[in-house]
Amino acid sequence: MKIAIINGPNLNLVGVREPEVYGNQSLDTYLRQLTARYPLVEFSTFQSNSEGALIDEIHRVGFHVDGIILNAGAYSHYSLAIADAVRAVTAPVVEVHISNVHAREEFRRRSVLAPACKGVIAGFGLDGYRLAVEALLKK
Ligand code: DQA
């Protein structure tokens, strides 16, 4: 079982950035602990602040992993290019948001990626990544 975890802009600052929204723990630390809990799963992790780099990574992993966990940050709300990349690959993609995007500003309520994804997890903090792993393991 291979799972790729792909994170978009500003997620490198989780733990420092708006801790009242995203918490105090760094995403790096959290993901190291999470991936260690699943020794039978082969994980790759990737973060970029650039749209093109995220698309390249989706293309790179998207035909040979069993699932992708994608938090595209603000790109989720408007990147049709990332939505097309999600549609282009064969791996199922689970969209994750740390915060409950539906309880925040109006523009965060719409995801252009969601219709191309297998499912969406939002509002459970960093634990959303674990929930996404569990969802992919059960598929
Ligand atoms: C986010 C929600 C987005 O609206 C925001 O732009 C982010 C993080 C989340 O994980 O809650 O950068 O994707």
* pLDDT given for residue 75 in this prediction: 98
Q: Domain residues for 80? A: 2-137
Res. 34 pLDDT band, cuts 50 70 90: very high
The answer to whether 105 touches 74, Cβ cutoff 8 Å, is no
Condensed to tens digits (0 to 9), the pLDDT of residues 62-100 reads 999 999 999 999 999 999 999 999 999 999 999 999 999
Q: Quote the pTM value.
A: 0.97
Chain centroid to Cα 65, Å, comes to 15
Count of residues in the chain: 139
d(CA 110, CA 95): 12
Residue found under tokens 């801790």: 19
Residue found under tokens 């595209």: 72
Atom of ligand 1 nearest to the CA of 9: 12
22 is catalytic: yes
Chain centroid to Cα 138, Å, comes to 18
CATH number of the domain to which 60 belongs = 3.40.50.9100
From 22, 30, 75, 129, active-site residue = 22
The answer to whether 59 touches 70, Cβ cutoff 8 Å, is no
Question: Average pLDDT, stretch 2-29?
Answer: 96
Atom of ligand 1 nearest to the CA of 21: 11
From 30, 75, 97, 129, active-site residue = 97
Q: Which residues pair with 93 in a beta bridge?
A: 68
Instruction: Give the residues surrounding ligand 1 with Cβ less than 6 Å away.
Output: 10, 71, 73-74, 76, 97-99, 101, 108
Number of folded domains that form the chain:
1
**Dihedral-angle region of residue 30 (phi above 0 means left; psi in -120 to 50 means alpha; beta otherwise):** alpha
